[in-house]
Amino acid sequence: MKIAVLPGDGIGPEIVAQAVKVLEALRGDGLKIEMEYAHLGGAGYDAAGDPFPPATEKLALAADAVLLGAVGGYQYDTLPRPMRPEQGLLRIRKGLGLFANLRPALVYPELANASSLKPELVAGLDIMILRELTGDIYFGQPRGIRTLDNGERQGFDTMLYSESEIRRVAHVGFQIAMKRGKKLCSVDKANVLDTSMLWREIVTEVAKEYPAVALSHMYVDNAAMQLVRAPKQFDVILTGNIFGDILSDEASMLTGSIGMLPSASLDAHNKGLYEPCHGSAPDIAGKDIANPLATILSVAMMMRYTFAREDIAQRIETAVRKVLQQGLRTGDIYETGMQKIGCTAMGDAVVTAL
């Protein structure tokens, strides 16, 4: 298992260090794990003048999987756009062909009170959002800000999806649904957008190859509403890049803590980039108070999706659950009566439970 480790910025190095402890513990148990470090985001800009330095690209291409902390920081906000940390993230996703972004929204019974929704609405919630990651309006050309004849400026972007892009992500969606509750809801805006009409047509076509999966379609505005009205109706949600960006953040908040949510971004051969859903949290960086569980759970996803080791994935997830059952909490998920601990102590507790 060749893993490229990219701690990134802000709390990235702190939370990644805890996930690395877990990997080291697994290595101690006999797994053949190799880890090598490189810079991404602001750390890449600081070290090599580039948010996605060539050395990082080389390492990431050679690895089976990439473990990433997070990127971004206020000090980089004034840099020209190509130099900003987020560009490093977009470039590594595109460069590795990571078109399928998996974000589970799972509510642990111990944390059901952390949600802003009523506990009965979210208790037992287990949704998988699959967001297409390398197409859509985020990458479509042309884009820009132009000046019209009357002197007024106009911003424009292009929403684009080709059939093949839709088809490959749809296959991933149906395959995931087969391993879960066999329900897939495809989210689009086919009542208004031509891109979405094609999306719906292709998804419906791909569905014929997966007769065991119940396919439904939903407009994105309704999906946004249903996610807070009755979120447990969903199993797998399949959607495009921009809709998925927004819906996956909304779904993450159903769980109450962004510090608990892992993610995976996969290519066509299950090579993946694994990272927590949250950002670099510069407001709490360096204080040893960040929640490392999303990053540790990202390692579980890595074992499941890239290395096909469901047993190890479950072992890590069980260890996290055990630690929650012991009443251990970082500040973001703390409730009265629980024991508040820091980032390092949380990492140690998971390793012990493992």
70/264 with CB nearer ligand NAD: 70
Nearest-approach distance from CB 237 to ligand NAD, in angstroms: 19
Shortest Å, Cβ 12 to ligand NAD: 8
DSSP code of residue 334:
-
109: cis peptide before it, omega within 30°?
no
311 is catalytic: no
> Does 273 interact with ligand NAD (rule: CB under 6 A)?
no
Between 62 and 81, how does the x/- string for binding to ligand NAD read (CB under 6 A)?
--------xxxx--------
Site for ligand NAD in 274-293 (CB under 6 A): 275, 278-284, 290-291
Binding positions for ligand NAD, 314-343, rule CB under 6 A: 332
Residue that is written with structure tokens 């993610």 in the block: 263
**Residue 183 annotated in active site:** no
Site for ligand NAD in 2-21 (CB under 6 A): 11, 15
Q: Name which position in 259, 262, 272, 347 contacts ligand NAD (CB under 6 A).
A: 259
- Tell whether residue 351 is a contact of ligand NAD (CB under 6 A): no
| Identity of residue 348 | D
Residue 29 among the catalytic residues: no
List all residues 6 or more positions away from 333 whose beta carbon is below 8 Å from its beta carbon.
111, 114, 256, 257, 259, 260, 291
CA distance 143 to 64: 34
Shortest Å distance, C-beta 208 to ligand NAD: 35
Nearer to ligand NAD, 196 or 291 (CB): 291
Q: What sign does the dihedral 254-255-256-259 (CA atoms) show?
A: negative
Q: Are 10 and 73 in contact (CB under 8 A)?
A: yes
Q: Which of 189, 271, 274, 305 is catalytic?
A: 189
Annotated catalytic residue, options 58, 179, 194, 221: 221
Q: Is 120 in the site for ligand NAD (CB under 6 A)?
A: no
**Residue 55 CB, nearest distance to ligand NAD (Å)?**
19
Round to whole Å and give the CA distance between 71 and 9. 5
The two structure tokens encoding residue 274: 């694994």
Active site residue 138: yes
Q: Alpha helices, DSSP H only, in 147-286? A: 163-179, 194-207, 220-229, 241-254
Q: Which residues contact 129 (CB under 8 A, 6 or more apart)?
A: 102, 103, 104, 105, 236, 237, 239, 244, 247, 248, 251
Closest CB 180 distance from ligand NAD, rounded Å: 24
CA–CA gap between residue 23 and residue 37 (Å, rounded): 14
164 versus 339: smaller Cβ distance to ligand NAD: 339
Q: In angstroms, what is the minimal distance from the CB of 39 to ligand NAD?
A: 13
DSSP secondary-structure letter at 96? Answer: T
Q: Which of the residues are catalytic? A: 138, 189, 221, 245, 249
Give the binding site for ligand NAD (CB under 6 A): 11, 15, 70-73, 86, 89, 258-259, 275, 278-284, 290-291, 294, 332
